[in-house]
């Protein structure tokens, strides 16, 4: 079952090593029904930044990401912190059976707390994170194959 792979620490480490090379586990717990992992890795901005954004967003980012999965409800929450930036990224996650297998749904929320440039900065960061999540999906699939029972 998919949830077994998504709640393995080695799967997460493999996935993030494929993306960033180095990953550090900050917290981890694995109870009967709930799995939690919090990691830190480095990344860079994948979109060109206009002058106003370059003053607010560094080209290299530290990404602190936590995932919590509930094995019974097949749902969870993703949180991404970018230390030093006024940005909040979160997603509600769920798994659903389909006719051909399983589908993972992530419903994202991105908020930038910079009053004057918030909407422009949100658009830039949303574009950057769309690229990051496309790469994450590719790394997930690649790593996933190695861990499916």
Q: Which residues have CB under 8 Å from 8's CB, separation 6+?
A: 147
Per residue in 78-123, pLDDT (tens digit) is 999 988 888 889 999 999 988 888 888 989 898 877 665 667 767 7
pLDDT at residue 117, as a whole number? 60
Is residue 89 within 8 A of residue 107, CB to CB? The reply is no
| Residue with token string 């798994």 | 95
Per residue in 38-86, pLDDT (tens digit) is 999 988 777 777 777 777 777 788 889 999 999 999 999 999 998 888 8
CATH code: domain of residue 77 = 3.30.530.20
CA angle at residue 57 from 56 to 63, to 5 degrees?
A: 140
pLDDT at residue 114, as a whole number? 66
Query: What is the rounded CA–CA span in Å between residue 37 and residue 55?
Result: 32
DSSP 50: P
DSSP 54: H
pTM of the model as a whole: 0.78
> How many domains does one find in the chain?
1
* Domain region containing 42: 2-147
| End-to-end C-alpha distance for the chain, whole angstroms | 8
Query: What is the rounded CA–CA span in Å between residue 67 and residue 13?
Result: 13
């Amino acid at each position: 079952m998919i949830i077994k792979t998504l709640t393995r620490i080695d799967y997460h480490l493999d996935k993030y090593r494929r993306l960033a090379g180095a990953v550090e586990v900050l917290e981890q717990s694995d109870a009967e029904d709930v799995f939690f992992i919090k990691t830190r890795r480095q990344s860079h901005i994948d979109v060109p930044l206009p002058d106003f954004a370059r003053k607010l967003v560094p080209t290299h980012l530290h990404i602190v990401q936590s995932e919590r999965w509930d094995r019974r409800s097949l749902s969870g929450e993703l949180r991404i912190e970018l230390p030093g930036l006024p940005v909040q990224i979160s997603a509600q996650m769920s798994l659903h059976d389909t006719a051909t297998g399983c589908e993972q749904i992530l419903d994202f929320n991105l908020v930038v707390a910079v009053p004057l440039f918030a909407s422009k900065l949100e658009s830039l960061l949303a574009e950057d994170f769309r690229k990051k999540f496309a790469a994450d999906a590719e790394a997930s699939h690649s790593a996933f194959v190695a861990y499916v029972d």
